[in-house]
Amino acid sequence: MLKNRTVAVVVPAYNEEKQIISVLESMPDFVDRIIVVDDRSTDRTFEVVKEFIDTKGASGAIIIKDVYADGVKRNRYNNADVVVSEMRKEEAVRYTPSEIYNKNQDTDRVILIRHTENASVGAAIATGYKWCRDRGIYCTAVMAGDGQMDPDELESICLPIIDNSDIDYVKGNRLSHRSAFFVIPKIRYFGNSVLSLLTKIASGYWRVSDTQTGYTAISLKALNAIRLYDIYKSYGCPNDILVKLNIAFCTIKEVPIKPVYRVGEESKMKVMKVIPRISFLLFKGFWRRLYVKYLFRDFHPLFLLYHLSFLLLILDIPFLLQIFEAATTEIVLSIQSLIIFVFLTTIGLQSLFFAMWMDMMDNDRLQRV
């Protein structure tokens, strides 16, 4: 426990037989539960963790039971709680099918869960999150199974949530470290910069910097606020989680961490393939956030301004093509077309910038420094 609060770490692992033991052995003592989610590895990851549990996996210092095992007893005031409890049972089938190795989940410190099918890192995190939510873990962190996250920094990741009930999600920020440009591979640095910019727009967290780091911590309140089974299953899961958290009005904070590379990890992500996929995910996430948050839940004028700007800029395209054609050929552009182009461009860009400014101002309340 950390300051009398329960702490768990979810460790998604796929083909990490060489690195996973060092991750488990270096875990700080204040971590109450380590949930290793083996995403149907093709190597001996599952067997290695199983052997670790059988030989070195001591029991946790405290007993942690499933807080939803007995359901909710109905009374005249808690019908909403009963509905949520029933929804949890129905949602269980939407998670990636998995099996739990442990016979004593209430007491074992290391919990081993194995997916029955490979579903990628986001699905593994969702499975781990579900276990922690069902057990009422106060703060749940994520550390990759490849050893790229310094366990000595885990406390600084968790403390904002432990110390301040107003903070729901904490992300590590590698880009704030002075060595980032030199340590992070250039193609990853470029990809991170592009996706971080797109994530700012899509998620509404305009001050978030390192969106692609997986070193995070989330509060129990935030776990209950989002649909865990709906987390994007592949490498865009950190971006998707940010969009979901913003829609749920969750607060976030970034803490500086150092970038860790060349410690024996084997990257399974192809950056140039991932960027287009995550960009489309963020495009959909932006519109979902716009409609759910600013139309259905809490109407805001920026909803209208965004739509007005996009409409005007789309109508502006034919006139832009006319100007391009006039500049490259001998066709004479009419004054009327030029005036319409200037009008649509000016009003469209002004509406877009005002919408973005309002978006920044409204979401500033959800970001902590």
CATH number at residue 290: 3.90.550.10
Do 162 and 237 lie in one domain? The reply is yes
Domain range for residue 348? 300-368
Do 287 and 309 lie in one domain? The reply is no
pLDDT at 257: 93
Do 173 and 318 lie in one domain? The reply is no
CA angle 120, 276, 236 (to 5 degrees): 35
Structural domain includes residue 30? yes
Rounded to whole angstroms, how far apart are CA atoms 361 and 285?
19
Do 264 and 310 lie in one domain? The reply is no
pLDDT at 11: 97
Q: Would you give the DSSP letter of residue 126?
A: H
Candidates 312, 317, 321, 319; CA nearest to 354 is 312
pLDDT at 29: 94
Structural domain includes residue 356? yes
Do 291 and 307 lie in one domain? The reply is no
Mean pLDDT of 303-327: 94
Q: CB of 201 within 8 A of CB of 286? A: yes
What are the CA-CA distances from residue 78 to residues 6, 72, 75, 88 (Å)? 26, 9, 6, 16
Quickly state the pLDDT bin for 265 (edges 50, 70, 90): low
Do 133 and 83 lie in one domain? The reply is yes
pLDDT in tens, 153-167: 999 999 999 998 899
Mean pLDDT of 341-358: 97
Structural domain includes residue 262? yes
Which residues have C-beta within 8 Å of that of residue 44, sequence separation ≥ 6?
17
Do 250 and 360 lie in one domain? The reply is no
Quickly state the pLDDT bin for 30 (edges 50, 70, 90): very high
Q: Which of 280, 296, 312 is the last residue of a domain?
A: 296
Mean pLDDT of 5-33: 95
Query: Within a 10 A sphere around the Cβ of 232, how many other Cβ atoms?
Result: 23
Rounded to whole angstroms, how far apart are CA atoms 158 and 233?
24
Structural domain includes residue 1? no
Q: Would you give the distance in Å from CA 169 to the centre of its chain? A: 9
Task: Choose between 95 and 55: higher pLDDT.
Answer: 95
Tokens of 295: 């139309």
Question: Residue 260: enclosing H or E segment and its boundaries?
Answer: none
**Chain position carrying tokens 């509905």:** 83
pLDDT at 218: 98
Structural domain includes residue 319? yes
Mean pLDDT of 360-365: 96
Mean pLDDT of 235-264: 90
Q: CB of 286 within 8 A of CB of 307? A: no
Structurally, how many domains does the chain consist of?
2
Do 28 and 84 lie in one domain? The reply is yes
Structural domain includes residue 2? no
Structural domain includes residue 119? yes
Candidates 140, 152, 40, 137; CA nearest to 97 is 40
pLDDT at 305: 97
Do 352 and 235 lie in one domain? The reply is no
Q: Which of 279, 296, 313 is the last residue of a domain?
A: 296
Do 193 and 313 lie in one domain? The reply is no
Mean predicted lDDT score pLDDT of the chain: 92
Structural domain includes residue 33? yes
Q: Which of 296, 328, 346 is the last residue of a domain?
A: 296
Quickly state the pLDDT bin for 111 (edges 50, 70, 90): very high
Which residues have C-beta within 8 Å of that of residue 345, sequence separation ≥ 6?
313, 316
Do 15 and 59 lie in one domain? The reply is yes
Quickly state the pLDDT bin for 10 (edges 50, 70, 90): very high
Q: CB of 11 within 8 A of CB of 35? A: yes
Do 258 and 315 lie in one domain? The reply is no
